[in-house]
Structure 1
């Protein structure tokens, strides 16, 4: 499969399953990461966390290279201006031409979004019930009421769904997750639901496997196409051109 340039209204999502184990099948393409990424990777105490981080950033660089035409190692990153304060600590961007992108990973999964407009993605494991009780205060008041309307056994999945939408949206805007998470409503649609943030398309991404995921794209975007990357996509000698067309 050949990766083509991002097209307006047609964002793409890329899923890499089990990134922690990709290195068991060959050598990870560490030479494509920059010094800052390698230093960050070495700071992880748990090997699985390090391998997940490395696989995520190799995949991101290879996808961006396929879109932009540059070599993965030659890509340089910068930060967009924060929409709240104007300082250069907003969402990550390519220093030069290329698509908008977003990266998220959790145990067992890496999710990457590419689009012609600002985009945010998030993937979350389903939390334990006691964690839902602790973290529910970070939801919008209407989201908390919706959460409480579900049986206890369903609440971890509902919370993860709400949180993935919220984090994807806040990453897409460049604000990032902070004390304002309770100000943004991204609950389920219904007869008494509030309006979601204007000017953004926020969609659930069905991954299964005890995970919730979402993508947020600025504007009235088409539903993202979900594609899967094989483990060899992050190995020396592999590449994203080995990926199938869709999940």
Structure 2
């Protein structure tokens, strides 16, 4: 069993709108810059279609929040295919999607610039993690920050908690070690064993990671395009 990952740069391509449903197009129209949203959701539809044999236009998604139960937000699920788990992440320049049958999945991509703010350590890192970064500066520091942040976001997407759980309570391995969840300090229940992997999305100014709720080792199939 594996995790299929697809990563792409955000594009302005009106043909991608034809893949989206009416609700997705409406959500895209409400955004000042719709291109990241459109790119990401078209990417997810194509990846699910390739993994399941479905028509990308015929796929129905629903959202469920694991914390409050609403369908107004939360991680996406493929309607009628409970064993197919999906996740999507995007920023201004990159989009990443993941599909697997191993278990609930979370994927995250971060621009180095997103980690460049005062107080990053206090809101994102456990003290043990912050101590490991004390000797880093400049782009090296931003790269490590973005890497750790992408791991934590991927984990919290996989569990369904999102930012209801403080990222500083999700302790991950050092940046120069294989990605791993070392400790879950949150009061909220961790649903099960977690496997984490860093992703090379082909851009030096981005970091990405995937996490899956499973005890089985991850085999990642990553396609960039």
- TM-score of Structure 1 vs Structure 2, range by shorter chain: 0.7 to 0.9
Counterpart for residue 7 of structure 2: 15
The one of 6, 12, 30 equivalent to 2:17 is 30
For the 8 Å contact 2:17–2:42, the answer to whether it is kept is yes
Counterpart-to-counterpart distance in 1, 2:86 and 2:116: 33
Displacement of 1:37 after TM fit?
0.8
For the 8 Å contact 1:203–1:215, the answer to whether it is kept is yes
Displacement of 1:186 after TM fit?
1.3
The one of 200, 218, 223 equivalent to 1:222 is 218
Counterpart for residue 213 of structure 1: 208
Displacement of 1:71 after TM fit?
2.1
Displacement of 1:31 after TM fit?
2.3
Is 2:40 aligned against 1:56?
Answer: yes
User: Unaligned regions of 5+ residues in structure 2, if any?
Assistant: 185-191
User: Unaligned regions of 5+ residues in structure 1, if any?
Assistant: 1-7, 230-247
Classify 1:144/1:99 alpha carbon distance in 2 versus 1 (closer, same or farther; 3 Å): same
Q: Which has the higher contact order (CA 8 A, sep 6+)?
A: 1
Counterpart-to-counterpart distance in 1, 2:40 and 2:212: 21
Displacement of 1:53 after TM fit?
1.4
Aligned pair count?
Answer: 208
Classify 1:94/1:137 alpha carbon distance in 2 versus 1 (closer, same or farther; 3 Å): same
More strand by percentage = 2
**What is the aligned-residue RMSD (CA, Å)?**
2.5
Displacement of 1:69 after TM fit?
2.8
Counterpart for residue 114 of structure 1: 99
Task: Kindly report which structure 2 residues correspond to 1:117-132, keeping only aligned pairs within 5 A, or say none.
Answer: 117-127=103-113, 131=117
Question: Which of the pair has more CA radius of gyration?
Answer: 1
Which ranges of 4 or more aligned residues in structure 1 deviate by more than 4 Å?
84-90
More helix by percentage = 1
Q: Normalization by structure 2: what TM-score?
A: 0.81
Counterpart-to-counterpart distance in 2, 1:81 and 1:107: 25
Counterpart-to-counterpart distance in 2, 1:195 and 1:186: 5
For the 8 Å contact 2:44–2:98, the answer to whether it is kept is no
